[in-house]
Amino acid sequence: MKSRDDLNASILQDLADRSVWDTRQRMFYEMRHHGLRRKNKPWPGASDVHFPLVDTTISELKPAYFQQLFATDLIAQFVPTNHRFQNIQLLLHNGLITESSKRLI
């Protein structure tokens, strides 16, 4: 089993190894939520506005994707060709018999 000093050294090494990744993640978060200012503007006095285009697009498309994923629309309906089964289907549809009693027929 590792000693406390070995464990502490291992944790510090893991934090140091991921420092580049952590810095980039912090920068991406700032870019997404607050926007980053340009280092060089195209001309003096040019606007440096942040507009969250991706977030706006996701917010607009999200309801359509949820509808596609979780829709309860009828996709297919199967109709029996045998008259005996058509009568059973009609009784089931009208609630006159149940699935368990259908096995007895």
Q: What is the pLDDT of residues 34-83, one digit of tens each?
A: 888 888 888 888 888 878 888 889 989 998 888 888 877 767 777 767 77
Decide: residue 92, CB within 10 A, 0-12 exposed, 13-18 middle, 19+ buried.
middle
What's the pTM value of the predicted model, to 2 decimals?
0.44
Which residue is it, tokens 């996701």? Answer: 58
Cα separation, 12 vs 4, in Å, equals 12
